[in-house]
Chain A
Amino acid sequence: MHRVLLGMCVLGLFLFSSAWGQDNPNDQQPVSRKEFEELKKDNAEMKQELSDLKKQQTEQASTADQDAQDYDKQLKAIQDAVDKERPGLEGLVIAGDANFGFETQVKSDSTFFADVSPLIIWQPTDSHFLIEAAFDLAIGADGTTQDTENASLGVNLADISYDVCDYLTIGAGLFAVPFGQYHNHFDPPWVDKFPDDPLAFDAIAPISEVGAFAKGAIPSGTTRWTYDVYVANGPNLITDDPNAAGQLNFNDYTDLNGNKAVGGRIGFLPFYDMEMGYSLQYSMPNPDGFAHVYAFMQAADFHFKPIVKALSGQFDFAAEWIWSTVSPVTYDPMDALGFGPLTFNNYRQGGYVSLGYRPTEVDNKILRNLEFLCRFDSLQSPINSPGGEHESRWTFGIDYWVTPYCVVKSAYEIDQRQVAQDQNDFIFQVGIGL
């Protein structure tokens, strides 16, 4: 009996120890150093393999992206080639600009205005040639008459040019006159930061003329010289208008006397963001049958557009001045037109100085797209001449650049006139490049 009890106790202890052993793995035999190192090595190898696999996968994805981009580029090149060869559209671009706005001036009716200027540029198969045509379709108020509105359709450009070499281009037709910088560089409403032209460039400067021209640029070191020469029909002297006798008419492209105007401009760019120039034009603007008259016009221009990091923005400084001399002559000598005989010293001058600041370097997007502007412009014509006046203006404006080629402008002009009444002006304009 004792043996049976003893045997059962031994069996119980054996079963208990077996169960205890299964519940406590720590009681297994310890891993040797060698086994541990092998396991560690296996683990490191597996990690390396996993890393290699991941890397390979990333590279494959990157290559696939690159291939896709290459295919896109090839497809685009093919599309461009097809577009270029499409009959009738070869090298043809329709661009231009448009603007609309609102103006309210002291002693005048306020008005809306609009202007669309399509520009057609065509480069024929021979890429040395370029043909340009620009039109101007405008509607707005005429402040000088009682009319409530007028509309106009004009041609500003109609020329063909040929690149003789890398540094010389010749051309003919109705071309933009390189007289100063304003009409050549800053005139389009999406480029011009002010909603109207400076007084002098509206009155005593040519915009377009019919003739032939040669132009180009010559780099010298880090600087660049530019040149323009031309011969054109030139302006016409107004002789029979009692309100404008003695003024030059730049909008009539016909030649009244067979004499041609010659002119040109030399520009110098000491730095990429600075340009200065000197322009002149000599012409015989009198109509046939009128006394011989010469007109000599000169202009000096300067433009500087630096980024000043210390002030977190970009400045735009421009200054241009025009001097115009028309030889003295007697208008309406027999008083046939009712305002003569009239003789005066026909010397006129005018220009502008403008400064703009745009905080291009700040983080705030709205502030970055604002531009603050100030301009002084002036025009002096002989007081004793028909329409003679000494006028100067201060313009203060704020622009907002919606996109690089769409600007919303607002400006207030403080006007000072010596003869007529001052006419302060508020103008709002939206200018878009097409």
Chain B
Amino acid sequence: MLNKTKTKTKTKTKFLVVLAFGGVLAGMVLYGCNSAQNANPPTTQSVASADQPSFALFGPPPKKSGVQLWSENCTRCHNGRPPEEFSAAQWEVIVHHMRLRANLTGPEAREIVKFLQASS
């Protein structure tokens, strides 16, 4: 009886996992297709310029402004903190800390710092 319940729970869990990742993959494909058709997905977060490709696996990274990088990278995990909340010197340290947390590159971190310092 216990084994039967155990097997049932295992099957249910596996089904949920497969369902979740299946949904995720399907979502990725659909989102990718949609993004390919629409160079600028209608998001309030995105401030991408019109001449940037929506998806390219290889090649040099597109040039992005500080505000765009801030919008894309910081708000992926948490709400954006208002730039005026910290001083220019503090933002430099905080973004350095977040470079480690979010695996940002050096140029990305510097652009974000510039934007936050100009807006603080």
Contact = CB atoms under 8 A, between A and B. Distances in A.
Interface of A: 76-77, 79-80, 83-84, 91-93, 95, 121-123, 127, 130, 132, 161, 163, 165-167, 169, 171, 176, 184-186, 188, 190-191, 215-224, 226-228, 267, 270-276, 300, 302-307, 309, 317, 319, 321, 349, 351, 353, 360-361, 376, 378, 380, 383, 390, 392, 401, 404-405, 418, 433
Contacts of B21: 300, 302, 319
B106 A271 contact: no
11 contacts: A83-B87, A93-B97, A163-B106, A167-B106, A186-B77, A221-B57, A227-B103, A271-B55, A302-B24, A307-B43, A418-B6
Contacts of B72: 272-273
A433 B100 CA distance: 18
Contacts of A77: 88
A217 B105 contact: yes
Most buried by A among B77, B94, B100, B106: B100
B79 A184 contact: no
B80 A404 contact: yes
Nearest to A353: B20
A390 B9 contact: yes
A216 B102 CA distance: 9
Given A166-B106, A166-B107, A220-B61, A383 B89 contact: no
B44 A272 contact: no
Contact of A216 (B20, B81, B97, B105): B105
Interface string B64-91: 0000000011011111111000111110
Contact of A222 (B24, B41, B55, B75): B55
Given A221-B57, A274-B31, A360 B79 contact: no
Contacts of B81: 404-405, 433
A353 B53 contact: no
Given A166-B105, A166-B106, A353-B17, 20 more contacts: A79-B87, A80-B89, A84-B89, A93-B86, A121-B94, A122-B93, A130-B100, A171-B100, A219-B61, A221-B59, A224-B61, A273-B45, A321-B17, A351-B17, A353-B16, A360-B44, A380-B13, A383-B6, A390-B6, A401-B79
A401 B97 CA distance: 24
Contact of A228 (B31, B35, B103, B108): B103
Contacts of A127: 92, 96
A376 B13 CA distance: 10
A392 B89 contact: no
A217 B103 contact: yes
Interface in B8-45: 9-10, 13, 16-17, 20-21, 24, 27-28, 31-32, 35, 41-45
